[in-house]
Amino acid sequence: RPGSPIRSATASRLCWLTRPAISTPVSPTALPDPWPTDLRYSKDTKALAVVFDDGVEFVLPAEYMRVHSPSAEVRGHGADERQIVPGRRHVGIMKIEPVGNYAVRLHFDDLHDTGLFTWAYLRELGEKHDDWWAQYERDLADRGLSRDP
């Protein structure tokens, strides 16, 4: 398969990704998880558009991705250690850094940059956006916290 560009308003070059080689013929349904064909960050809307090779596209706000970062700082080291991150309404992404052939590291403008956003996790963030965002807002309200800094 030909490579797929990752485009970023914060990057000065295109980074090409290639789906891992498959050594034996398989049906399309047996391929690995959907693969991103395009990542584009808009500084204006502070959102990352992710397009997958199966045609599904998500627009993920930077704030949503920051508060659901896959880092230990946010996730903790177990399900009961998850942290609620308040005050990130205006957070943006400064840099998108490819990591191998499986993820990107997002550098947020609040200087958080420790989570690796795998292709599977980006897909999950998109698919579960409405539920996860509603839960985040409930968690803030339950704790008397705000999205505002």
Q: Which has more pLDDT, 31 or 25?
A: 31
Q: Which has more pLDDT, 2 or 141?
A: 141
From the CB of residue 41, how many other CB atoms can be counted at a distance below 10 Å?
25
How confident is residue 68, by pLDDT bands cut at 50, 70 and 90? Answer: very high
CB 99 within 8 A of CB 86: no
From the CB of residue 5, how many other CB atoms can be counted at a distance below 10 Å?
15
Whole-number percent of the chain with pLDDT over 70: 75
Q: Is the pLDDT of residue 26 over 50?
A: no
- Share the mean pLDDT of the chain: 82
Average pLDDT over residues 50-71: 95
Average pLDDT over residues 87-100: 96
The pLDDT of residue 82 = 81
Average pLDDT over residues 93-121: 94
CB 109 within 8 A of CB 91: yes
Instruction: Determine how β-strand 103-108 pairs with β-strand 116-118.
Output: antiparallel
Q: Is the pLDDT of residue 19 over 80?
A: no
The pLDDT of residue 69 = 93
List Cα–Cα distances, 40 to 4, 20, 104, in angstroms.
12, 22, 12
CB 91 within 8 A of CB 62: yes
Q: Is the pLDDT of residue 42 over 90?
A: yes
Instruction: Determine the distance from the C-alpha atom of residue 78 to the mean position of all C-alpha atoms in its chain, rounded to a whole number.
Output: 20
